[in-house]
Amino acid sequence: MPVPIANFQLTQQQFDNLQAQSYLPDQAAVQRALTAAKPSFADLQALLSPAAGEFLPELLARATQLKRQRSGRTLSLFAPLYLSNLCSNECSYCGFSRSVAVKRRILTVAEALQETTAIQSLGISQILLVTGEHQRKAGVDYLLEVTQALRPQVARLMLESQPLDVRDYQQLRIAGIDAVMLYQETYDPQSYARHHTFGTKADMTNRLAAPSRVAQAGITQLGMGVLLGLADWRTDVLVLAQHLRHLQQHWYQLAFSVALPRLKPCAGKSTQQSGVSDRDYLQLLCALKIFAPELSLSISTRDSPALRDLLLSSIACSASAGSKTQPGGYTVSPQSLAQFSIDDERSPQEIAAMLRVNGVQPVWQDWHPVLGRYPA
């Protein structure tokens, strides 16, 4: 039985102190960080600082070099499959929040298979299953049923749902889940409490502990991230890196990916924006890649085609394409309200064509179902 470890913790004072330090590094500190063989947290802080904004070409060049050393000129394509928009939480930024007046639905297994077929017709066989956080109707029993039905059809199955127990994650791993995505949203305790006012997601301590449970269950890949715009983005990204290192110290064999979406308009919240510019976004992604070259950076369709072309051709390792962010969006209920608005509506084939023009090989799947599951 896995031995429990001390969970990652952060106080408001620690977050505030880090935020105050985020604006102190000067250009000399940035230059040192760019040439560091093994960047420290102080180096990452410098790369995230306002002073580093003057070094964007250098940051991009260094991050691109490190990405290509690790995985070459390739980019893995996947698509989300939204299973349910039922949610028992109240979150200020989400179109699935319990108080939002949106038609709720949960896909049957047959409908999930139908959606999978539609995604595969786009050329994609790597699928991210997404649900709202509703333990009773979209809990582990439902997820197990869907996973077992879809597993033989696809090369890779990933999951983004509510935090679960170790035993639940173990069952899902056995059933066919290859990776779990768990987003902290923000590490600022005050901001977290302000934006999560009802439901199990209001428990920040449980949220912070959930990635450790994924690792203890033997899942081979863990996705982490924050929602940029809920708190100071420099500090959120720095603490995310600290959380990542905490987990790597205990589960060195676990593969990590990171997604850092920006706050976008959604149903009932049509005016909310992140306040994070494209320049800020490019800076923080490059900084994180330089600090942790082993990370797989994932880019969503929330971003504009022009920015996506740059990121997907340089530092990204994976990206969604042809995304629909509502249950049944590909075939069953294409007109239903989405979780958030998207900016890049190009098809996977159009994305692939762009990648090839820029000298990048699109990867539709890196494992075939006929070979069985990924090796442990």
The answer to whether residues 81 and 130 touch, using CB atoms and an 8 Å cutoff, is yes
DSSP 54: G
| pLDDT the model gives residue 2 | 41
Task: Report whether pLDDT(1) > 50.
Answer: no
Distance CA 313, CA 331 (A): 30
Task: Report whether pLDDT(176) > 50.
Answer: yes
| pTM (predicted TM-score) | 0.92
Task: Summarize pLDDT for 204-248 with one digit per residue, the tens.
Answer: 999 999 999 999 999 999 999 999 999 999 999 999 999 999 999
- According to DSSP, the residues that pair with 134 across neighbouring strands are none
The amino acid sitting at 216 is Q
Phi, psi of 15 (to 5 degrees): -65, -45
Task: Report whether pLDDT(190) > 80.
Answer: yes
Task: Report whether pLDDT(336) > 80.
Answer: no
CA distances 306 to 54, 106, 317, Å, are 21, 34, 17
| pLDDT the model gives residue 4 | 47
- Cα dihedral 240, 302, 262, 25 in deg (nearest 10): 70
Task: Summarize pLDDT for 115-136 with one digit per residue, the tens.
Answer: 999 999 999 999 999 998 888 8
| pLDDT the model gives residue 266 | 65
Task: Summarize pLDDT for 50-78 with one digit per residue, the tens.
Answer: 999 999 999 999 999 999 999 999 999 99
Phi, psi of 287 (to 5 degrees): -60, -45
Class of the 12-367 domain? alpha beta
| pLDDT the model gives residue 268 | 54
The answer to whether residues 162 and 200 touch, using CB atoms and an 8 Å cutoff, is yes
Q: Supply the mean pLDDT for the chain.
A: 91
| pLDDT the model gives residue 3 | 42
Diameter of the chain measured on Cα atoms: 59
Locate the domains of the chain by residue range. 12-367
